[in-house]
Structure 1
Amino acid sequence: MNEAIEPSKVVNLSQRMDPASERVGELLNAVRNIANKRLQQWIGNAFEQVDDALFDLAEKAENNAAQMHYFDGMREVRKHRPAVERNFLGAISRKLGELTRPVQQPGPATPTPHGSIELSLVADNELEESLAITSMIGKNESRLSRDLFAVNQRLSVICGGHKIDDSNNPVAPANLAQAFRSALHEFSADMRVKLIIYKLFDRYVLSMLEELYHDINIELVRAGVLPQLRHEVLRGTKTKASGVDGQSAGVAGADEAGEIPTDLLQTLHALFSARRGPVVPGGGLGTTSDGGMHAMPSGPLPSANELLGALSVLQSQIASAGPLPYAQPDDAIALSREVLELKGQLLTQIGALRGERPSHVANIDEDTIDLVGMLFEFILEDRNLPTAMQVMLARLQIPYLKAAILDRKLFSHRQHPARRLLDGLAEQAKSWSEESDRDHRLHEKVKSIVDKLLHDFDDDMGIFERLLNDLQQFQEANKRRAELAEQRVAESTRGREKLEQARRRAAREILDRIGEQKLPPLVHGVLARAWANHLVLTLLRQGEASPEFKTALRFIDEFIASTRPANDVQSRQTLRQMLPGIQRALRLGLANVAFQEQDIERLLGQLHNYYRQQLGETLEESEVVTIEEDAAMLAIPDSIQPVIDSSPAPDEIPEEETVEVPPDSPEWHKVQALQPGNWLEFCLADEPMTRAKLSWISPMSGRYLFVNRRGLKVADYAPQELAILFAEGQARVLAANALFDRAMSAIVGKLSQPESAATPSTDTE
């Protein structure tokens, strides 16, 4: 409950208060109670929505693996929700209580980029999470600036004049988001689940902060704290985005002008700014070849129109060179040099257009040029893309640089058509191989889109949407065909495995019952071929628990028993009683495996003669069934294949050298982590490179079935076989996330390391 300040205690607080006074403690306690009550209610509301949101997403999940991520996330939330809420509310309450004891700074505070999220957060490859947080912070700080300004001013007064602003106010959006992020460290959930939770935190907590600030302001005004304060933000009071050393004023100015509307670019510009070094008086920004700072000659900077004009000239030169040739092995190396040289070519071309070569461009344009360059360097080094596709996509550097200058949302909005087009092309390219694209349909589609961008893109950004639709239609048409083929492959494989399992079961049942007994060839042949096939069909159709299967097993016992010597009256009587049942069962069983009537009569005739011998009857010479004669082969048609074969005993099989992969090895963990839908590259000896998707993992044998992009079977491996391929470097898993996301994470990670060069790492394994 709020502890409202009694009217009798209201005093004039136009002057600073002593932070150690009892009055300050009362006021801060009132603020803390207001905050705790509101935040406890809102954080509870947010978590109440998590289950429904994750369940809805699980129902719509594209595959079982994604569905399990959401279900696992639901369990994590239920398990850790109390601790997260407790830690979050406790952190805010503690920080409010510490406002009167400000941490002493050793020097002037370094401004941080918009949203007060330190760049170090991005350096840990947590780009996606950081962007989600900075996005919701930026949106809410702008919306709430009026009320938050008043809260900051009043808290500054009661804290003895110590300045309270957005960066150190515990209930400011940035600090609330940071506290929530810290509390979420309890979770080990998938990042997709965390992003859903952040969205709900934004909707049910941050979007409600206006009420909290209103309550705090009302409470402090009642206590006499700055009752006449006008609720308006003076120009310049908001912290501008800056670089690591506060050197990117140009970037901040561009932000205010609306040229860079998102936090990703602000983060990247700050990192680029830190890499360039501080401004040198009288010049621009620049670095020497060894990374040192030097002054750049002043002069008119190229405008956006000049940059676009120069890029169009360079683009037309590439387009006029003719159709893209089929990629050669050395093309990627040559293109890498072109990517690195583009900035110099651009300045030279601008010089040709204006009559003098500029020495540099505006910081924001230089950052965009470098960023696009690093993106395409990443593409040329990305092992997830086949070389032929790398070379084609790298031709798009100039069109994408033009697009980035025309619309700077390209790098930060996942739904931007240009970004989705490049991601879509890369996703299609990932599955490409010569073998799977014999008709060159995919290669020609990617090539046609690249050609259209090179020839047709001037300044109409709508071309990306049109080409994206074209690619999606191509993808859907091929996807339907591939899914049908993949389904047939899986069903065929599943059917073969069920058949093989049934054959093994039938063979085991028969061999177990025969044991060490030596059966006549005729009886052994019937069991090994005809009756074994009858057992297989019964297992497949009726199942092992069916009466039919149990009856078929009883016949085996009776049939074997009928071969025992009948040397006395009792045993002969017993055999005579068994024969009618054996004959009936054989007729039914042989008919079940498609014996022709004449073949059934022939086999029964041979068995009849055999049993007459057993009973001691005298036979004509032609009727005698001898042990040496292969009676089984004479009696059973060739169309009936044996289920029990005469394979050599284990000690007769020559030993082969095999590689064993320990079950706790990284390769085994890779195999266990595979999910249907994962793409792998196989580079087997004396075979062309193959890319294949894990289509199905057999629940019976545990084998992994792989298909190509057309849905046709490529291979199937036992887990141990697959682990060996990983161990020998003949198989590797391809990245599942989008090209743009991989590239941005690699670029930010690279730029965040002061000693690193500009080229990002593309090692995705």
Structure 2
Amino acid sequence: MNEASDPSRVINLSQRLDPASERVGELLGAVRSIASKRLQQWVGNAFEHVDDALFDLAEKAENNAAQMHYFDGMREVRKRRPAVERSFLGAISRHIGELAHPQQSSGSSTSFGAVELTLVADNELEESLAITSMIGKNESRLSRDLFAVNQRLSVICGGRKVEDASNPVAPAILAQAFRQALHELSADMRVKLIIYKLFDRYVLSSLEDLYQEINTELVRAGVLPQLRHEVPRGDAKAAGAAGQATDEAAGDIPSDLLQTLHALFSARRGPAVGGNVGMHALSSGPLPSANELLGALSVLQSQIASAGPLPYAQPDDAAALTREVLQLKGQLLTQIGALRGEKPSHVATIDEDTIDLVGMLFEFILEDRNLPAAMQVMLARLQIPYLKAAILDRKLFAHRQHPARRLLDCLAEQAKSWSEESDRDHRLYDKVKSIVDQLLHDFDDDMGVFERLLVDLQQFQDVNKRRSELAEQRVAESTRGREKLEQARRRAAREILDRIGEHKLPPLVHGVLARAWANHLVLTLLRQGETSPEFKSALRFVDDFIASTKPATSPESRQMLRQMLPGIERALRQGLANVAFQEQDIERLLGQLHTYYRQQLGETLDAAEVVAVDEDAAMLAIPDSIQPVIDQGTAPQDSVEEDLAEAPLDSPEWHQVQALQPGTWLEFCLPDEPMTRAKLSWISPMSGRYLFVNRRGLKVADYSPQELTALLTDGQARMLAANALFDRAMSAIVDKLSQPDAVPPADTAAE
């Protein structure tokens, strides 16, 4: 009997296993076997590509020293690869085994302390950020399958909660284990960063297959067979429930990043006088409590809300708001002083870190060119609500799936696609403005408001996405149809011109081929294809029609022409009817051809018949509705081949264009045209042209690779970042604080 179908073998949350039981050992052994097999294959594949990647970089190195770094790295990797792989796979195997013995693994994970992190070298910080970025990207992408693995492992381990941060096959543990394994290498950090990229590409990007296999195996063994493979939202009516849903949805950000931030803030401020003070030395009163901070923020928030509706963004608004962002700490302490009767000179270190971190987040928003200016100004108004949220719930910066963080990311993602041209009805602008207004007016201490607004925004996004996808599909189909038509026209023209060659055709015959018959070839190509008997027959007609214009000067040639004419007339009638010739037009054209062939056969014509085939009158037999496909003596040029031949293949912009993927957003600032933002919707497999649409799915432009490269080179187009606003901001903040000349952020507390 199949285990999953045997009720006695089904395990659920009310029947958790004893971690020491034989059954647990079997199940964890199965998980270890699956993980070891997959990871060994993937990490080996990653290392197989290291040589090529480093060799390419060595060839492009700016100097001999840099080149030697890469060559030395290649030799070091070849020598130490087996040790790295053993260390990595061994660590994961141990972590899986330790799931059954939590007391043995409680101290196995290592993290830097705040004091140590103040001394972290730049290259180690760079390494930490690379790993943090990898983990965040993949945790978000894999949340559904990973959630199911976490739940099933929790059941196996007796109900002890397994999260992304403690699951041995989650991106966080895998990345940290690989980082430890790379200690076997003494290679330059530039080499290690290349290896991390390959690890991300060939290992972390493949984890979906691993999770599905583990889930399938555990379901077969009867572990939570009815578990829904989706992350529960939780109850949005209460902050606690929202936080619980957050915990279940995704693990913490690796502690390295947050500890790094606290350490960098501390290092920039200098030594503290006490263990719990901020930048300033002494205070005349007690430190402000969290409630005092929240009260003062509420007063400031109400002042902004009472100022009336937000005006439409003006060019100078961003600069003014940046000053406000930097001055908030001083305003906050002044407001606390007004409420308590004396102004404190500083706040607790953890509160000051939070104030500075939120301030730098919104300073980043006002500098982020991924956001249009009008949206920058609108989102910057959320600084106080988000500072209140960060004080109320410290997990805002620690959880990627925190509702407040997801709401800001979602707002920024919608804002990225906005332009006045694509939002003439102000639907998106008004929606973002409505959410900002609600947070400014309604948010006090109910953290559930972020979840409710997020759901509202996602519903708005889903409705508009369905509309835009339908429009986008129609645009792509229309473009695809035009390209197929153009390709068929070029093919028909080439076939006819190749057959005409050096022949000097009578105007009537050339007109039939260039207009009516070329259109017949185009339709046959589109409907039946180039390998069809119909297309081959249509090409044979071209050969016969051209041959029929050769002078018939001998009895044999005249006899041959007479034999060809019935077939020519029959094929011509059929082809003309295919391109919608009216019957009277067909008869008129055939009448002119009869007259022409009588001349070819040497028959005597009267004066009226001679006029009928005069060069000026010959084309009158072909209706104006039948458009020419080719002009006499000229062949169409393959513009795509020309573009590719002339494109600057060695420029960075050309490589950017070649790497572009559908879904990427660009900003276009063309002369005498308003700024517009457009998404790469489709790359034509026929012409290679790039089709761009706006947020409503309507066509903005299409460019050849060469044209798009030129726009990027001239600064008339630029790519917009694809990763989330919060992630970009955190990386930028760490980078800014790590600069040697950085100053303590927003130091206005004493004003």
1:112 corresponding residue in structure 2: 112
Change (3 A) 1:74 1:680: farther
Q: Write the deviation string for residues 455-502 of structure 1: whole angstroms up to 9, x where unpaired.
A: 000000000000000100110000000000000000100100010010
1:743 corresponding residue in structure 2: 729
| Amino acid across the alignment from 1:707 | V
Structure 2 CA distance, aligned partners of 1:175 and 1:491? 46
Identity of aligned residues (%): 72
Distance 1:318 1:73, change over 3 A: farther
Residue 346 of structure 1 and its aligned partner are, at CA, apart by 0.1
- Partner of 1:540: helix, strand, or coil? helix
Q: Aligned match of 1:268 in 261, 272, 277?
A: 261
| Counterpart in the other structure of 1:615 | 601
Q: 2:260, 2:658 → 1: CA distance? A: 37
Report the 3-state secondary structure (helix = DSSP H, G, I; strand = E; otherwise coil) of the residue aligned with 1:624.
Answer: helix
CA distance in 1, matches of 2:358, 2:721: 21
Asked whether the 8 Å contact 2:132–2:254 carries over to 1, the reply is: no
1:217-296 alignment runs, 5 A limit: 263=255, 264-280=257-273, 284-286=277-279, 295-296=281-282
Partner of 2:180: 179
1:388-407 → structure 2 map (5 Å cutoff): 388-407=374-393
CA positional deviation for 1:424: 0.3
- Cα displacement string for residues 335-361 of structure 1 (whole angstroms, at most 9, x for unaligned residues): 000000000000000000000000000
CA distance in 2, matches of 1:632, 1:677: 53
Q: Is the 8 Å Cα contact of residues 681 and 692 (structure 2) preserved in structure 1?
A: yes
Counterpart residue number, 1:129:
131
8 Å Cα contact 1:377/1:759 also seen in 2: no
User: Which residue number in structure 2 is paired with residue 48 of structure 1?
Assistant: 37
- State whether structure 2 residue 198 is matched by structure 1 residue 189: yes
Per-residue deviation at 1:667? 1.2
Aligned pair partner of 1:89 in 79, 82, 86: 86
- Match of 2:615, SS state, is coil
Q: Which has the higher helix share?
A: 2
Q: Is the 8 A contact 1:410 1:418 kept in 2?
A: yes
In structure 2, C-alpha distance between the alignment counterparts of 1:189 and 1:174, rounded to whole Å:
12
- Tell me, yes or no, if the aligned pair for 2:492 and 2:518 is still in contact at 8 Å: yes
Q: CA deviation at 1:726?
A: 0.8
Tell me which residue corresponds to 2:295: 309
Could you tell me which residue of structure 2 aligns to residue 423 of structure 1? 409
Distance apart, 1:403 and its partner CA = 0.3
CA contact (8 A) 1:750 1:757 kept: no
Cα shift at 1:736: 0.4
Task: Supply the distance in 1 between the matched residues of 2:207 and 2:43 (Cα, whole angstroms).
Answer: 13
Distance 1:91 1:462 in 2: 41
Partner of 2:631: 645
Structure 2 distance, partners of 1:576, 1:372, is 91
- Give the structure 1 partner of residue 46 of structure 2: 76
Paired residue secondary structure (1:680): strand
- Partners of 1:686 and 1:712 lie apart in 2 by 21
Bigger Rg, which one? 1
- CA drift at 1:266: 2.5
1:269 positional shift: 1.2
Change (3 A) 1:506 1:74: farther
Give the 3 Å change call, closer, same or farther, for CA 499–92 of structure 1 in structure 2. Answer: closer
Q: How does 1:430-449 map to 2 (within 5 A)?
A: 430-449=416-435
In structure 2, how many angstroms separate the alpha carbons of the residues matched to 1:190 and 1:174? 9
- Alignment partner, residue 454 of structure 1: 440
Inter-partner Cα distance in structure 2 for 1:385 and 1:602: 64
- Partner in structure 2 of residue 511 of structure 1: 497
Moved more, 517-526 or 734-743: 517-526
- C-alpha separation in 2, matches of 1:91 and 1:116: 25
Q: Which amino acid aligns with 2:363?
A: E
Asked if structure 2 preserves the Cα contact closer than 8 Å seen for 1:489 and 1:713, the reply is yes
What is the rounded CA distance, in whole Å, between the counterparts of 1:524 and 1:427 in structure 2? Answer: 57
Q: Report Cα offsets for 1:563-617 as digits up to 9, x if no partner.
A: 1111121111010000000001001111111111111111111111111111111
Partner-residue secondary structure (3-state), 1:645 = coil
CA contact (8 A) 1:122 1:749 kept: no
CA distance in 2, matches of 1:468, 1:587: 65
Task: Tell me how large the CA RMSD over aligned residues is.
Answer: 3.9
Q: Contact 1:282–1:298 at 8 Å: present in 2 too?
A: no
- Letter of the structure 2 residue corresponding to residue 129 of structure 1: I
User: Of residues 364, 371, 376 in structure 2, which corresponds to 1:378?
Assistant: 364
Could you tell me how far apart the structure 2 residues matched to 1:174 and 1:574 are? 81
> Larger deviation: 301-310 or 270-279?
270-279
Q: Secondary structure at the match of 1:630?
A: helix
Q: Which moved more, 1:638-647 or 1:682-691?
A: 638-647
Amino acid at match of 1:360: H
Asked if 1:694 corresponds to 2:675, the answer is no
Alignment of 1:546 with 2:532, yes or no, is: yes
Pairwise CA distance, 1:283: 9.3
1:515-560 C-alpha deviation (Å, 9 max, x unpaired): 1211111101100000000000011111111111111111111101
Q: Cα gap change, 1:662/1:190 in structure 2, threshold over 3 Å: closer, same or farther?
A: farther
Unaligned runs of 5+ residues in structure 1 are: 1-38, 53-71, 95-110, 144-171, 205-259, 288-294, 652-657, 761-765
Contact 1:262–1:409 under 8 Å retained in 2? no
Match of 1:667 in 2: 653
- Deviation of 1:124 after TM superposition, in Å, equals 1.2
Note if 1:351 corresponds to 2:337: yes
Residue 558 of structure 1 contacts residue 582 of structure 1 at CA under 8 Å; is this kept in 2? yes
Q: SS where residue 514 of structure 2 aligns? A: helix
- Structure 1 counterpart of 2:350, which letter? I
2:198 is paired with a residue of what secondary structure? coil
| Residues in 2 aligned to 1:353 and 1:339: alpha-carbon distance in whole angstroms | 22
Q: Is the 8 A contact 1:681 1:732 kept in 2?
A: yes
Does the 8 Å contact 1:123/1:749 carry over to 2? Answer: no
**Aligned equivalents of 1:403, 1:443: Cα separation in 2:** 24
- Structure 2 SS opposite 1:732: strand
Contact 1:46 1:200 in 2 (8 A): no
When the two structures are superposed, what TM-score results if normalisation uses the length of structure 2?
Answer: 0.71
Q: Does the 8 Å CA contact 1:396/1:450 hold for their aligned counterparts?
A: yes
8 Å contact from structure 1 (residues 283, 296) kept in 2: no
Partner Cα separation in structure 1 for residue 469 and residue 398 of structure 2: 33
Deviation at 1:676, TM superposition (A): 0.5
Q: Deviation string for 1:94-123 (max 9, x for gaps)?
A: 9xxxxxxxxxxxxxxxx9327998844663
In 2, Cα distance between equivalents of 1:637 and 1:751: 75
- Provide the TM-score with structure 1 as the length reference: 0.70
What does the per-residue CA deviation read over 1:146-174, in whole Å, with 9 as the maximum and x for residues that have no partner? xxxxxxxxxxxxxxxxxxxxxxxxxx999
Distance 1:558 1:458, change over 3 A: same
Task: Tell me if structure 2 keeps the 8 A contact 1:77–1:187.
Answer: no
Corresponding position of 1:587: 573
* Shift in CA distance, 398/74, structure 1 to aligned 2, threshold 3 Å: farther
Q: Is the 8 A contact 1:40 1:89 kept in 2?
A: no
Q: Deviations over 1:711-744 (max 9, x none)?
A: 0000000111111111111000000000000000
The one-character-per-residue Cα deviations of 1:375-407 (angstroms, maximum 9, x if unpaired) are 000000000000000000000000000000011
Judged with a 3 Å threshold, the aligned counterparts in structure 2 of structure 1 residues 281 and 382 are, in CA distance, closer, same or farther, namely: closer
CA distance in 1 between counterparts of 2:582 and 2:89 reads 86
Residues 304/196 of structure 1: CA separation in 2 closer, same or farther (3 Å cut): farther
Q: Does 1:531 align with 2:521?
A: no
**Aligned equivalent of 1:676, options 635, 653, 662:** 662
Q: What are the superposed Cα offsets for residues 216-245 of structure 1, whole Å, 9 maximum, x if unpaired?
A: xxxxxxxxxxxxxxxxxxxxxxxxxxxxxx
Structure 2 gaps of 5+ residues are 1-27, 51-76, 92-110, 140-145, 155-172, 185-191, 214-251, 638-643, 747-751
